[in-house]
Amino acid sequence: MNILSTTDTHGWLAGHLLDENYSADYGDFADFVRKMKAKADSLGVDLILTDSGDLHDGTGFGDATTPNGKLTLPIFDQLPYDLLSIGNHELYTTEIANDTYTNFAPRWGGRYLTGNVDIYDNGVRKPFSQRYAYWQTKMGVRIMAFGFLFNFTGNSNATVVTPVGTAVQQAWFQQQVSRTDIDLFVVAGHIPVRAQTEWNLVYAAIRQHHPTTPISILGGHAHVRDSVAFDANAMALAAGRYCETVGWVTIDGLPSNVTRATSPMGSGTIKITKPSSVPNVTNQINSSSLSWSRQYLDFNRPTFEKHTASLNQGFNTSYGQGISGNITSEISTLPILTNLLGCAPASYYLNRYPISDNRSLFYYLTNTVFPGVVYATGRNTSAYPRIILTNTGGFRYDVLAGRFTIDNAYQTNPYTNLWQYMTVPWSYAQSLLTNMQTDKVYKRQVSTSNGTVYNSTTGTWLTTGYLTTDDFGAAGDGDNTLHINQGSASTPHYVQANVSTSNITNPSTMVDVYVTSFFAAAAAAYLPGNMTNAWINVTNSTGGSFSSFDTLPAYAQRFWSKNC
Ligand SMILES: [Zn+2]
């Protein structure tokens, strides 16, 4: 059994235009999947394709339309997915939830699984989509599939997310899980695979009835490559984010009364003998006839070609080229996506480097971008000392050297929280950042990569990229392409620009404090009188609102070269 898996695509279906590692688009991927399915057929093995949710929010291609996803979802729909689960980014707004419910979920012939999500359909609470799917593969394997979302609470009131621990006690789950005609459980879920209560509960609920039946979990949400061993017959894989990674799992050794397939490629590379401990589960099996393998494939054409070359069919087919052509023509219907705002003079990374390093995006924002464009009309002179704070969790991706468009702006920071300011004594302003760092923790992502480096020891060109450590191997063992470690640095929850404050000696000197509406209330709590309504909106040059999303485009238009 072979499983190809994507997760957290967030609209990146056009590929990463400025990063070779992840330069394939969904047309290239579609070609790859169809060829891998043909290869599986010719070898006499099974191959299924899964996705674990979060199709929205992350690129202009996905987000600059109404409804959100209008251009990207028809592209995604053309892939032959066998199993899908819903992500939290399908549920933040009622508009996207309704579009997913009405138009997207029904396209998958009962394979879009939402075991713990309901929706109000004209006021009537109904399952969002199917709860489970059961089918027999080409090679005869009887699969029971489930789909779950983590215990998400930020959904709009159009939907209801039932805690996973409650869902697995419900009659529909108990009825299905207690069946005896199951050879393999495949569970897709928008849940991080490592140390996450929700997966432990699903695993334990299955093991209550099936002490040894194989379980393959395809997770998501954490935006990392990872794999976890639950027991000798159960493992979980997460396939990263943003169309950077295709996850690949194989299960070998299913008995001949379960599958007609044999293993022409040899057995899997992993025998699980030391499962991670799962709370409240005793007797986790630690020996089995099964062997597993897992790989994280970079999302680029050379990688896809490497695995399909044995078919001798070349890479391009009208199928994949047709999808790539659709992507190009649909992007061209939204000229704002391709109009040049400016040329980023260098690459600024989200969290590959510490914020004190001038290659860090946050260094660039606080030293250059915010001082350059974040100020109320007329208040950008030294007569108005400023501090400008941002939360770092709103930033989702690097700014890479070269063309910068609205599409890139969505990739970097899609949030439209308004810039606001109030004027307070320095005695308050100077300690605001320190106070805010102790406040609420926001979700952050790991770093990404680009660039190539010559390795004189091996004589090969290596790309800088992910070097993944998981339950099955040390750094790089599961990465299908060898990478030089791109590194990662932790980022504080807030960062701050200081403008014209260095000479302040008197604590009663008045200073303009800039924040965004996202955390304005939290910041006000540390300022005189906790006056949440004292914030004044910053306006742009035409008197309109000025948001976090507008910040980099405003800087690019005013200060970056137009010649890339
Ligand atoms: Zn995500």
Residue 543 CA, ligand 1 centroid: distance in Å: 34
* pLDDT tens for each residue of 536-546: 999 987 889 99
Residue 133 CA, ligand 1 centroid: distance in Å: 24
Helix (H, G, I), strand (E, B) or coil at 503: coil
Q: What mean pLDDT is reported for the chain?
A: 92
Residue 452 CA, ligand 1 centroid: distance in Å: 27
In which band, very low, low, confident or very high, does the pLDDT at 106 lie, cut at 50, 70 and 90? very high
In which band, very low, low, confident or very high, does the pLDDT at 487 lie, cut at 50, 70 and 90? confident
In which band, very low, low, confident or very high, does the pLDDT at 267 lie, cut at 50, 70 and 90? confident
Residue 553 CA, ligand 1 centroid: distance in Å: 24
Token pair of 356 as six digits? 């004190």
Residue 128 CA, ligand 1 centroid: distance in Å: 20
Residue 116 CA, ligand 1 centroid: distance in Å: 18
For residue 424, the model assigns a pLDDT of 97
Token pair of 233 as six digits? 């017959």
Q: Tell which phi-psi region holds residue 128, choosing left (phi > 0), alpha (psi between -120 and 50) or beta.
A: alpha
The 3 state secondary structure assigned to 416-477 is CCEEEEEEEEHHHHHHHHHHHHCCCCCCCCCCCCCCEEEECCCCEEEEEECCCCECCECCCC
Residue 88 CA, ligand 1 centroid: distance in Å: 8
53, 220 in Cβ contact below 8 A? yes
CA distance linking residue 68 with residue 255, whole number of Å = 46
In which band, very low, low, confident or very high, does the pLDDT at 447 lie, cut at 50, 70 and 90? very low
pLDDT at residue 375 above 70?
yes
Token pair of 32 as six digits? 């790859």
Answer whether 0.75 is exceeded by the pTM. yes
For range 81-110, the mean pLDDT: 97
For residue 490, the model assigns a pLDDT of 86
- Tokens 């935006």 -> residue: 223
Residue 92 CA, ligand 1 centroid: distance in Å: 12
In which band, very low, low, confident or very high, does the pLDDT at 456 lie, cut at 50, 70 and 90? low
Residue 326 CA, ligand 1 centroid: distance in Å: 24
For range 537-563, the mean pLDDT: 94
Residue 223 CA, ligand 1 centroid: distance in Å: 6
**Which CATH class for the 2-330 domain?**
alpha beta
Residue 29 CA, ligand 1 centroid: distance in Å: 19
For range 523-531, the mean pLDDT: 94
Which sequence spans correspond to the domains of the chain? Answer: 2-330, 339-446+489-559
For residue 484, the model assigns a pLDDT of 81
Residue 273 CA, ligand 1 centroid: distance in Å: 31
Residue 427 CA, ligand 1 centroid: distance in Å: 39
What is the share, in percent, of the chain residues with pLDDT greater than 70?
96
In which band, very low, low, confident or very high, does the pLDDT at 446 lie, cut at 50, 70 and 90? very low
Torsions phi, psi for 503 (to 5 deg): -95, 5
Distances (CA, A) of 328 to 15, 25, 29, 61, 64: 11, 10, 15, 10, 15
pLDDT at residue 264 above 70?
yes
Residue 437 CA, ligand 1 centroid: distance in Å: 24
Residue 149 CA, ligand 1 centroid: distance in Å: 12
* pLDDT tens for each residue of 190-245: 999 998 999 999 999 999 999 999 999 999 999 999 999 999 999 999 999 999 99
Residue 220 CA, ligand 1 centroid: distance in Å: 7
For residue 440, the model assigns a pLDDT of 56
Residue 7 CA, ligand 1 centroid: distance in Å: 8
For residue 284, the model assigns a pLDDT of 82
Long-range residue pairs from 279-288, CB within 8 A, at least 24 positions apart, any chain: 279/200, 280/200, 280/204, 281/200, 281/203, 281/204, 281/207, 283/211, 284/207, 284/230, 284/231, 285/211, 285/212, 285/231, 285/232, 285/233, 286/231, 286/232, 287/232, 288/212, 288/232, 288/233, 288/253
In which band, very low, low, confident or very high, does the pLDDT at 459 lie, cut at 50, 70 and 90? low
Provide DSSP, 54-85.
--SSS-HHHHSSSSTTTTHHHHHTTS--SEEE
The continuous run of DSSP H or E covering 403 comes out as strand 402-404
Residue 399 CA, ligand 1 centroid: distance in Å: 19
545, 418 in Cβ contact below 8 A? yes
CA distance linking residue 483 with residue 299, whole number of Å = 14
- Edge-to-edge strands, sheet with 460-465: 452-455, 460-465, 483-485
Residues lining ligand 1 (ion), CB within 5 A?
8, 54
pLDDT at residue 313 above 80?
no
Alpha carbons within 13 angstroms on the beta-carbon side of residue 205 total: 23
Among residues 356, 360, 429, 421, the alpha carbon closest in space to that of 395 is found at 360
pLDDT at residue 560 above 50?
yes
CATH fold for the domain made of 339-446+489-559? 5'-nucleotidase;  domain 2 (3.90.780)
Residue 241 CA, ligand 1 centroid: distance in Å: 7
For 384, counting Cβ atoms within 10 Å of its Cβ (0-12 exposed, 13-18 middle, 19+ buried), the class is middle
The continuous run of DSSP H or E covering 121 comes out as strand 117-121
Residue 396 CA, ligand 1 centroid: distance in Å: 10
Residue 153 CA, ligand 1 centroid: distance in Å: 15
- Tokens 């404050």 -> residue: 501
Residue 495 CA, ligand 1 centroid: distance in Å: 23
Most confident region among 231-235, 278-282, 350-354, 414-418 by mean pLDDT: 231-235
Residue 21 CA, ligand 1 centroid: distance in Å: 20
Residue 190 CA, ligand 1 centroid: distance in Å: 8
Among residues 75, 107, 103, the alpha carbon closest in space to that of 90 is found at 103
pLDDT at residue 316 above 80?
no
Residue 89 CA, ligand 1 centroid: distance in Å: 7
Direct distance between the N- and C-terminal alpha carbons of the chain, in angstroms, rounded to an integer: 47
Residue 444 CA, ligand 1 centroid: distance in Å: 11
Residue 216 CA, ligand 1 centroid: distance in Å: 21
- Tokens 């924002």 -> residue: 365
Residue 445 CA, ligand 1 centroid: distance in Å: 9
In which band, very low, low, confident or very high, does the pLDDT at 445 lie, cut at 50, 70 and 90? very low
Residue 84 CA, ligand 1 centroid: distance in Å: 14
In which band, very low, low, confident or very high, does the pLDDT at 458 lie, cut at 50, 70 and 90? low
In which band, very low, low, confident or very high, does the pLDDT at 450 lie, cut at 50, 70 and 90? very low
CA distance linking residue 466 with residue 475, whole number of Å = 9
pLDDT at residue 105 above 70?
yes
Please check whether the two domains, 2-330 and 339-446+489-559, share a CATH topology: no
pLDDT at residue 268 above 90?
no
Strand partners, 543: none
* pLDDT tens for each residue of 203-213: 999 999 999 99
For residue 448, the model assigns a pLDDT of 32
pLDDT at residue 57 above 90?
yes
Residue 225 CA, ligand 1 centroid: distance in Å: 13
10, 242 in Cβ contact below 8 A? yes
342, 528 in Cβ contact below 8 A? no
Angle between helix axes 26-43 and 301-308 (nearest 10 degrees) is: 10
Residue 8 CA, ligand 1 centroid: distance in Å: 4
pLDDT at residue 451 above 90?
no
Residue 79 CA, ligand 1 centroid: distance in Å: 20
The continuous run of DSSP H or E covering 119 comes out as strand 117-121
Residue 163 CA, ligand 1 centroid: distance in Å: 19
